[in-house]
């Protein structure tokens, strides 16, 4: 199956880096805090980060006490930044698509992945590989785009709005049809893979995982008072986060 590397496209890379350099966005407000809150204690733990990108999570995991972190990513450009900005003696960055992790000859206490799985076509083999790479009782924590986002078809109307432009409804279209969707995000033809809740849950369960926690972040009153636009997340959460334990 083809492995998608949008991050080494120049146009995409600079657009993406622009978002990541923002001080406030949905990642900062919702994805990152929920991601770290869902983690078990990382103290003394050996961790693998799938799609580590700029390595911010690797660095933070070391700061939180991880004994070692291996970050892999398909993008050379991302790893160059990671080496420059988030190097550490306890971190090893490896240039590798996550579809190839079965070639790793090691085991990990915790495997994490932040906002990458929706780019992966072969989800089931990936989850099976992750299960195999975890130690007994090891934990997978991942975030991905919410299924309400991955099921969006490029060119369709995403929202029904009132005459003042206020979002009334999310236009949910063919949630039940799993598929590759092409969307434009800085560049054309970014491929995302739509999977339903049941497919995600069953893939984990069939591989032998117990799901311990699922989060679909929405804003609290503090965030809403500062950033009322995030009220839209009540119609469509941006992210889905899951913690699953190897039985």
Provide the binding-site residues for a copy of itself, judged by CB under 8 A. Answer: 148, 156-157, 160, 168-177, 196-198, 201-202, 205, 210-216, 218, 233-237, 247
| Cβ nearer to a copy of itself, comparing 2 with 176 | 176
| Closest CB 177 distance from a copy of itself, rounded Å | 5
Contact present, 173 and 151 (Cβ < 8 Å): yes
**Which of 64, 66, 127, 136 is CA-nearest to residue 107?**
136
**26-32 — which CB contacts under 8 Å span 24+ positions?**
26/230, 26/233, 26/238, 26/239, 27/115, 29/219, 29/223, 29/227, 29/230, 30/217, 30/219, 30/230, 30/233, 30/238, 30/239, 31/114, 31/115, 31/143, 31/217, 31/238, 31/239, 31/241, 32/114
| Cβ nearer to a copy of itself, comparing 5 with 218 | 218
| Closest CB 187 distance from a copy of itself, rounded Å | 26
Structure-block tokens of residue 152 = 């969006």
E strands along 83-124, which residues? 91-95, 108-114
| Cβ nearer to a copy of itself, comparing 198 with 226 | 198
| Cβ nearer to a copy of itself, comparing 8 with 197 | 197
| Closest CB 93 distance from a copy of itself, rounded Å | 32
| Cβ nearer to a copy of itself, comparing 22 with 160 | 160
| Closest CB 12 distance from a copy of itself, rounded Å | 29
| Closest CB 201 distance from a copy of itself, rounded Å | 4
């Amino acid at each position: 199956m083809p492995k998608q590397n949008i991050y080494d496209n120049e146009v995409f890379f600079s657009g993406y880096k622009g978002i990541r350099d923002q001080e406030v966005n949905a990642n900062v407000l919702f994805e990152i805090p929920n991601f770290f809150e869902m983690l078990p204690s990382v103290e003394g733990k050996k961790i693998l980060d799938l799609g580590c990108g700029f390595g911010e999570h690797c660095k933070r995991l070391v700061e939180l006490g991880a004994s070692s972190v291996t970050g892999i990513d398909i993008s050379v450009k991302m790893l160059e930044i990671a080496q420059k900005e988030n190097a550490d003696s306890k971190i090893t960055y490896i240039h590798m698509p996550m579809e190839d992790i079965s070639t790793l000859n090691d085991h990990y206490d915790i495997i994490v992945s932040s906002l990458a799985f929706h780019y992966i076509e072969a989800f089931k083999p990936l989850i099976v590989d992750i299960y195999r790479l975890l130690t007994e009782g090891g934990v997978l924590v991942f975030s991905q785009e919410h299924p309400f986002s991955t099921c969006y078809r490029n060119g369709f109307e995403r929202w029904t709005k009132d005459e003042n432009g206020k979002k009334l409804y999310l236009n949910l279209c063919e949630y039940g049809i799993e598929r590759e969707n092409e969307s434009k995000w800085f560049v054309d033809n970014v491929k995302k893979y739509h999977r339903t809740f049941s497919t995600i849950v069953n893939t984990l369960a069939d591989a032998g995982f117990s799901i311990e926690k699922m989060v679909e972040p929405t804003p609290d009153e503090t965030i809403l008072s500062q950033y009322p636009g995030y009220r839209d997340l009540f119609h469509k959460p941006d992210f889905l986060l899951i913690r699953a334990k190897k039985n």
